[in-house]
Amino acid sequence: MNATRIIAIRHGETDWNVGARIQGHTDIALNSTGHRQARQMAAALADEPLHHIYSSDLQRALATAQALADANGAKLTIDARLRERCFGSYEGQRFADVEAAQPQAALRWRKRDPAFAPPSGESLQALQARIAHVVHALASQHMGQQIALVAHGGVLDTLYRLATRQDLQAPRTWELANTSINRLLWTPDSGLALVGWGDTSHLQQTGMDELTN
C-alpha cells in the first residue's frame, strides 16, 4: 500500500501539566508519574512493528521516546520541528494569569483565533504549517512502513485536525492524554487520515509496573 502508518504519542506527565502551567518550548522534565506512563506505553508497543521513532527534542518528549526505543528496538531520531507550540512570554504562567494581565489577548486565545500569537510566540496557523510540513517530510521517507512520532498536546491536536479536516477554531471534543496512543495513516495524495485515537488502556496496567519502581 502506498501509505505510511503513524503512531502519534504525547509525552508523559510533568509537574507543569499537573499545575496547569503553560509549557511551550520550556524544557520541563517528566515527573515520576510521567516516567511510569512512558514505561507502560513502551511495554504496550514493545512488539509493534516500528521502522523508526521521531521525537521532539524537548526532554519530556525525548524521555518518553527513549522508553519506547528501549522497549521496541526501533531507531530514535530527534527532530526539533516536533516541538510544542511556542507560547513566548506566556510560558510558565497559567491561563488565569494571562487573563488577569491581558484580558483581550486571553479572549483571542480562548476563541482559538488562528492568527493570534503570544508575545514572541507562535500562532495556530504557524503551528499547523510547521506540523503539516514535518509530517509530510518524515512520512514520505517511510512508504509502506510504520513510524512513531513522540511530541506534545498541541502537536497532537494539530494532527487530529489535519486528519479529520477540522478547522483550527473548531471546539476540541477529543482527548490529548499523556502517553495516549493515536493511529493515523498518511498518503501522498490525501495527507493524513484518522485510524484510531486516544488509546490509554496501557495506563490501567499499573500493578506489575509498580512492583518494579
| Set 11, 25, 142, 152: catalytic member | 11
pLDDT-above-70 percentage for the chain:
96
Q: Which domains does the chain have, with CATH numbers?
A: 4-211 (3.40.50.1240)
Q: What pLDDT does residue 205 have?
A: 72
Identify which of 111, 155, 105, 151 has the alpha carbon closest to the alpha carbon of residue 130: 155
**Would the pLDDT of 18 be above 60?**
yes
Distances (CA, A) of 82 to 32, 97, 194, 208: 23, 27, 19, 32
Quick one: average pLDDT of 40-45? 98
Please indicate whether residue 1 or residue 62 has the higher confidence score (pLDDT): 62
- Strands 76-78, 146-151: pairing is unpaired
Strands (E), the chain: 4-10, 52-55, 76-78, 146-151, 181-187, 191-199
146-205 pLDDT, tens digit per residue, is 999 999 999 999 999 999 999 999 999 999 999 999 999 999 999 999 999 999 999 997
Q: Are 1 and 145 in contact (CB under 8 A)?
A: no
175 carries an active-site annotation: no
Strand partners, 4: 186
**Would the pLDDT of 213 be above 60?**
no
Q: Are 195 and 17 in contact (CB under 8 A)?
A: no
User: 158: Cβ–Cβ under 8 A, 6 or more apart, which residues?
Assistant: 127, 128, 131, 132
81-104 pLDDT, tens digit per residue, is 999 999 999 999 999 999 999 999
Quick one: average pLDDT of 102-114? 96
| Set 84, 122, 142, 202: catalytic member | 84
Q: What pLDDT does residue 211 have?
A: 40
**Would the pLDDT of 55 be above 90?**
yes
Query: What is the Cα–Cα distance from 125 to 132, expressed in whole angstroms?
Result: 11
**Would the pLDDT of 207 be above 80?**
no
pLDDT-above-90 percentage for the chain:
95
Q: What is the mean pLDDT of the chain?
A: 95
91 carries an active-site annotation: no
